[in-house]
A and B are shown apart, each in its own frame.
Chain A
Amino acid sequence: MTQYYLPKDKVPIPPPNAEVFTTACDYCIVACGYKVYRWPVGKDGGPSAMDNALLADFPLEPLGKSGVAWYGPNNHNVVMVNNKPHNIIVVADAETGAVNLNGDHSIRGGCIAKKPYNPNTPTRDRLQRPMIRIFDHLMPVTWDFATDIFAEMSNYVIDKYGANAWAHKQYSYQYWENTYALTKLALRHIGTASFSPHDQPGPGGDAIGLRDTGYAKFAPSYWDWAHADTLFISGTDPYETKTVLWNEWILPAINKRKMKVIMVMPRKTMGAAYAEANGGLFLQLIPGTDTVLQNAIARQIIEMDGIDKEWIKKWTNNKWETDSGFGQGTRNSPWQWRSTWGKFETSGYDNGKKSFKTWLFSQKEFELNAAAELTGVSAAKIKKAAEMMSQKKGKPTKVSIALEKGNYWSNNYGNTVSIASLAVITGTGGRPGRMIGRLGGHQRGGRGGGKYIRTKGPEKNEGRRKKPIDLDRWLVSGHVRFANVVGCTWVSGMAGAQGGIGDAFNRQTRKNAHQVHSFNKSEIISTLKKRVDSGGMVVANWDIYLRDPIGVKYADIVFPAATWGEVDFARANGERRCRLYSKFYDAPGDAKPDWEIAGLVAKKMGFPGFDWKDSNQVFEETARFSRKSRVAYDSIVWMAKKNGMKGHELLGKLGTTGIQAPVRIMDKAYANSKDPRINRPGRKFAGDQQEVLKGLEWRGGVLFATVRQHDTEMKMPDTGHPERTIFNKLELKYKSQTGKLNLLKSPWNQFSDFWEWWKPKGEELWVTNGRINEIWQSGFDDMFRRPYITQRFPENWLEIHPEDAKARGIESGDQLVITCDRVPIQKDYNQAVFSGDFMFSNLMKQGHIKLTKASITGVAIVTPIVRKGTTWTYFQNPHQPANALVPMVPDWVTNRYRFKLGVGKVKKIGESPYKRTYRAFSFARRDIV
């Protein structure tokens, strides 16, 4: 691990004939546009505009004003192309038409040139060969050898133990081509219900209350986040995690439009401090209490008569409308399958005893002073927030509401329902600048190649209502015989990482008596068969680096994957913007894209439809499955084909600006109309009016982008253009049978039994966790393979309030141990019989909860940015996994973990070397404004 980084003081300049590729950053959801300049080593250009491909004179101007963003040593790398070394610089595109205007970038994207493989850098350990664990060493073998074993073991497990014994956990985001191929294998062909995305114990949504209310979670555009009067952000600071969304959209709106930002988190970072200092508000709540806070604000708004009455009247369902029909009423919908009965449903806003308003005012926790006590946010601040969100007479307050993991990963259903209700009563969610949605984590690169069959899942609610699986619990209970792990960190990435899932992996692989001690393929297979027959498990891991522990300790089969910059890929960002991520260098060694690996194993397992020749073929196949989704890009592929192009090719022409989905083919007259009901606010960033699209049409239709979903004031044509156009109801309305919103209840008592039991007792403190600006890819890239970032954060740390630190004799730089001896693990596989069986207090009573021990270390940062009683740590250091301190008891309604609610005791065990040296870490506060 490099703990010092000595930067260079010069960078090479691309010559005039350098090749230029467009791409977007691989990391956060914002996905800033980048240009890659590539030229052979030894052929540098010069600092005059005449002598370089940047067409700019050095020194460059600030803020991208030279037409190109300045680049430093971390923007440069040397890569191999056709076996010849080439320089690359990867520079934020100052000429892009969207997202990162002016060539803005985060520290993460700004260093992305260091991602490509270069044996002279810490990327030298990229996986390059397929490997099999023999004599407890992962040994390089051929693709044929490794995929033979994979296929035979998979078929053996599926035939003998059923598809649900073949478990599959994969990233949900790493490009449409890959996620499509992987789910085509796992869901369409193998048909396993043992499936989960990288960050959850099972399939399904994340902000589920939004969905049940009727909101699509990525409906807004970035323009909307910049055009509210009051922007309420809960559970994230976009400055830290969605940097350019803050820099180029939210920050200018605060400075120029005087937009007020209310930020809700237990920890005050730069964005929160800036918002507070500029007319906004920072609500520093106690972890897990968002439901109380949001409902208390809602109640205050109603008391102030600040609701949007007309909106509520027009857009909310009454009881009959909620219950009616198939689709998104309660009948045969995910809502009904969750068996929540009358716990959350209302009869509408204020019509009768079962109305939202009657319920809200009957709940004692949401009364102002009680809420202040529970949340730790003063009554005055709750009131102030309500005032800022209230509709004023004669002048609407444009409220937008954003949420992220701090909100939905503590009390998933309660928090997401109550924030959606707050949106409904303030008239939020259907007009420009008045939107609700997630700000997002990873980019949106999920494309289903098959459907998850919930009825095959082993878990059920009371009645005959199947739930999506909790795959961690299924594995811990010993039902998995083959675990296929693609590009994610099963174990440290999940809750109860030590006592729960970590322990189970170890027991079912390394501690099993049947270990491979032979290079003979049939002997290997027969040993692994004995292992699964004795209750053990075979583990395959596809990744770009060998991750600890899943690859290092548990994998029997390792496949090396090719990634960003090595293959043409496509996906969307947090405002549904689709772009091509171009290949600009050759993947190292034998590494292959996951779609190709999926094809290799699928064919050997006997499945048809995996004969793709290149990435574009996969992309084009995925397109038709996107048609009903928020990122419908089928029209792009259709338009490309009809004009003699490939799908990737047309997407590539759209460059770093890309195009906002759903993309449709619309009649030219409609598409070019200046009617503000068609040419919607924010359209100039949508990407469908780019020069490269001029003249590109099919039967009088052209590509037409979608600025925002639920755009209730938008005018649609009477009839759509006939070609490949599916009009989704969500473009004008909401996800319910009637197209209107469900105003739901979010009772605190559905969660409080757990929260009261778990909250810190005695010497314990909350150990909440999250992302930090400087680190995106916790293991792949930033944390271990960027010398500068590694110097900034060489290991995990714990932020602790000065008073909590003083009481424990802790100073910044001290080495800490954080322990918990009561991390609850929901241990059995459960099938609820009676209503409430899955509630925490009932699980405890019925003996389904096991208490385990967990312990991690960290370096102390004593700082007033965390509230007293609450500490904060980085969420995903594989060697010091904060998730070990997180309960492995998911939300009973939605099966989503409460990742942000760790608890532990904090103790100093000495000093770290960083305390008295100056190269690594900084212990300064992060809220200096």
Chain B
Amino acid sequence: MEKKEEKCFSLCSNRRQFLLASGVATATVVLSGIPGMGAKKAEAITTGYPRQKVASLSSLKTGKPVEFKYPDTKKYSGSFIVKLGTEAGGGVGPAKDVVAFNNFCQHMGGKMLDGGYKAADKAVGPCPYHQTTFDLTRHGIVISGHSTESISQILLEVEGNDVYAYGMMGLIYGRHSNL
């Protein structure tokens, strides 16, 4: 088990960078540094996501979400990327303000963008079904509502002007496995 985790982490340097950048450095240090301590935490993270270009930085306008599909084109793959205009957890780009999320509410599957992106609050929602809202500056955590998880965040990295998706945090609504 430990070996598998270590292997995962050596292969997943991008995710590791993401975790470090977004303030959970201790978790990754613990995982790779102290044998036997990290197995439970590491289960949260699955490998094998496609690396896919989802936007170019120059085309993103602050406060205007752009939709795309990830990690495949199957049901519930609808996602969006948005430049918030303020630094955010997991944000990329020069201002660390570009984030991406799956578009489906983890409560009962409502399409979050139908409730709208709320630029003043950097929030998405309310969900058209039962009004759940999520904070996009804080890894998609529930602001108010019923979802038992944050809205699934898509891990991003930047290469020049291109923004790539390379993984996800959390299970996509409706599925039993993201992949």
Contacts and interface: CB of A to CB of B under 8 A. Distances in A.
Given A270-B131, A788-B149, A6 B27 contact: yes
A385 B145 CA distance: 27
B138 A59 contact: no
A251 B45 CA distance: 37
Interface in B103-118: 104, 106-110, 118
Interface stretch (B1-9, B53-61, B62-70, B164-172): B164-172
Interface in B122-179: 122-123, 125-126, 129-131, 133, 135, 137-139, 141-150, 152, 168-179
Contacts of B125: 928
A7 B144 contact: no
A274 B129 CA distance: 13
Contacts of B104: 62
B23 interface: yes
A13 B129 CA distance: 26
Contacts of B148: 72, 74-75, 105, 107, 110-111, 788
Interface string A855-883: 00000000000000000000000000000
Given A60-B174, A925-B121, A247 B149 contact: no
Given A73-B171, A120-B40, A59 B75 contact: yes
A917 interface: yes
A922 B143 contact: yes
Interface in A241-262: 243, 247, 251
A107 B144 CA distance: 9
Task: Give the interface centre of A72, A74, A274 by most chain B CB atoms within 10 Å.
Answer: A72
Majority secondary structure, B binding face:
loop
Contact of A919 (B74, B110, B138, B145): B138
A57 to B, nearest CB: 11
Contacts of A240: 144
B14 to A, nearest CB: 15
Contacts of B100: none
A144 interface: no
B76 interface: yes
A527 B177 CA distance: 60
Contacts of A4: 23-24, 27
Interface string A780-796: 00000000100110000
B149 A58 contact: no
Contact of A924 (B87, B107, B133): B133
B173 to A, nearest CB: 6
Interface in A52-110: 58-64, 69-70, 72-75, 102-107, 110
Contact of A791 (B74, B88, B141, B172): B141
B52 interface: no
Nearest to B41: A6
B178 A10 contact: yes
A47 interface: yes
A63 B108 contact: yes
Given A11-B176, A107-B145, A918 B138 contact: yes
Interface in A521-558: none
A6 B45 contact: yes
A926 B144 contact: yes
A9 interface: yes
A63 B129 contact: yes
A633 interface: no
B44 interface: yes
Nearest to B178: A9
A13 B176 contact: yes
B23 A919 contact: yes
Task: Give the interface centre of A58, A106, A919, A928 by most chain B CB atoms within 10 Å.
Answer: A928
A7 B171 contact: yes
Nearest to B174: A59
Nearest to A11: B176
Interface in A705-721: none
A110 B149 CA distance: 9
Given A69-B108, A243-B146, A926-B143, A251 B174 contact: no
A47 B152 CA distance: 21
Contacts of B169: 6-7, 9
A107 B147 contact: yes
A60 B144 CA distance: 24
A47 B176 CA distance: 8
Nearest to B167: A9
A73 B149 contact: yes
B121 A928 contact: yes
Contacts of B78: none
Contacts of B172: 9
A921 interface: yes
A661 B142 CA distance: 36
B89 A62 contact: no
Contact of B133 (A103, A788, A928): A928
A239 interface: yes
Contacts of B89: 917-919
Contacts of B88: 918
A12 B176 CA distance: 7
A8 interface: yes
Nearest to A274: B131
Contact of B149 (A72, A243, A919): A72
Contact of A922 (B141, B146, B173, B179): B141
Nearest to B46: A9
Contacts of A925: 121, 143
Given A8-B43, A70-B108, A269 B144 contact: yes
A807 interface: no
Interface string B13-48: 000000000111001000000000000110111100
B22 A919 contact: yes
A773 B144 contact: yes
A773 B41 CA distance: 26
Given A72-B148, A270-B145, A924-B135, A10 B121 contact: no
Interface in B67-89: 74-76, 87-89
A106 B146 contact: yes
Nearest to B144: A926
A247 B174 CA distance: 20
A105 B104 CA distance: 16
Contact of B123 (A917, A920, A924): A924
A181 B22 CA distance: 52
Interface string A892-929: 00000000000000000000000001111110111111
B82 to A, nearest CB: 15
A27 to B, nearest CB: 13
Contact of B177 (A10, A792, A918): A10
A927 B135 CA distance: 13
A367 interface: no
Closest 7 CB pairs of A and B: A918-B89, A62-B109, A59-B174, A110-B148, A10-B177, A6-B44, A922-B135
Interface of A: 4, 6-13, 47, 58-64, 69-70, 72-75, 102-107, 110-111, 120, 239-240, 243, 247, 251, 269-270, 274, 773-774, 788, 791-792, 917-922, 924-929
22 contacts: A8-B171, A9-B179, A10-B178, A13-B176, A58-B176, A59-B174, A63-B129, A70-B109, A72-B173, A104-B108, A110-B107, A110-B148, A240-B144, A247-B146, A270-B145, A788-B149, A918-B22, A918-B138, A924-B143, A927-B144, A928-B118, A928-B121
Given A104-B146, A925-B121, 20 more contacts: A6-B24, A9-B171, A9-B178, A13-B176, A59-B76, A59-B176, A61-B174, A62-B110, A62-B174, A72-B173, A103-B108, A110-B107, A239-B131, A773-B146, A788-B150, A792-B141, A918-B138, A924-B123, A926-B143, A929-B131
